[in-house]
């Protein structure tokens, strides 16, 4: 397991807000549901009680995971980024040489990835293949759907 989880300041704040929401709002809500369900009587056959306990267990796991992520987080600063290479927090404009169209991705940590926003993880096949590359390089990437072939047109850094 890596020592750090690299996050943008925005990503760190988003995870911190989610953790606060889970601890301050969701946890008390589920505790209240457990308390109310306990009042229904026999706990052995009380489906509401067992469902609420299960939900609380899942919530506690999520809280622990977020706390661990935030504890290990390293917020990247501009001086941490190599300017002429693809790194985490790079936005890369690519030419898809197979489909003859341009695409743009931002490389982020797995915790910040969101394919709908073209934020892909540095641990994904595409992310791994692009890391360390420079403008003008051609990259072939094996993915489950086949082979992708990109030319790196531009590298921008979001810091």
Per residue in 52-96, pLDDT (tens digit) is 889 999 999 999 999 999 998 888 777 777 778 998 889 999 999
Question: How many domains, in total, are found in the chain?
Answer: 2
Q: What pLDDT band is residue 4 in, cutting at 50, 70 and 90?
A: confident
The pLDDT value given to residue 44: 67
What is the reported pLDDT for 1? 46
The CA-to-CA distance between both ends of the chain, in Å, stands at 26
The helix (H) or strand (E) run that includes residue 64 is: helix 47-72
| Domain endpoint, select from 27, 55, 75 | 75
Residue 125 CB partners (closer than 8 Å, separation 6+) = 141, 142, 143
Helices 27-38, 47-72: axis angle to 10 degrees equals 160
Q: What residues make up the domain containing 85?
A: 78-157
CA-to-CA distance for 107 and 117, rounded, in angstroms?
11
Cα(90)–Cα(50) distance, rounded to whole angstroms? 46
Does the global pTM surpass 0.75? Answer: no
One domain for residues 91 and 46? no
pLDDT in tens, 129-155: 999 999 999 999 998 889 999 999 999
CATH classification at residue 153? 3.10.50.30
When pLDDT is cut at 50, 70 and 90, the band that residue 7 belongs to is confident
* CB-based contact 108:122 (threshold 8 Å): yes
Q: Over 70: is that where the pLDDT of 159 sits?
A: no
For the CA atoms of 139, 142, 144, 148, what is the dihedral angle to 10 degrees?
30
């Amino acid at each position: 397991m890596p020592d750090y989880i690299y996050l943008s300041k925005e990503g760190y704040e988003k995870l911190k807000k989610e953790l606060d929401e889970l601890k301050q709002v969701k946890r008390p809500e589920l505790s209240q549901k457990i308390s109310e369900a306990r009042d229904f009587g026999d706990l052995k056959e009380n489906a509401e009680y067992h469902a609420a306990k299960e939900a609380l267990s899942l919530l506690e796991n999520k809280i622990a995971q977020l706390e661990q992520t935030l504890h290990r987080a390293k917020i990247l600063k501009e001086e941490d980024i190599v300017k002429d290479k693809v790194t985490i927090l790079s936005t890369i404009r690519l030419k898809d040489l197979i489909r003859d169209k341009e695409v743009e991705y931002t490389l982020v940590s797995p915790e910040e990835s969101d394919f709908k926003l073209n934020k892909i993880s540095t641990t994904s096949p595409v992310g791994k293949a692009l890391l360390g590359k420079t403008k003008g390089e051609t990259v072939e990437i094996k993915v489950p759907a086949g082979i992708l072939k990109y030319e790196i047109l531009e590298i921008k850094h979001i810091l």
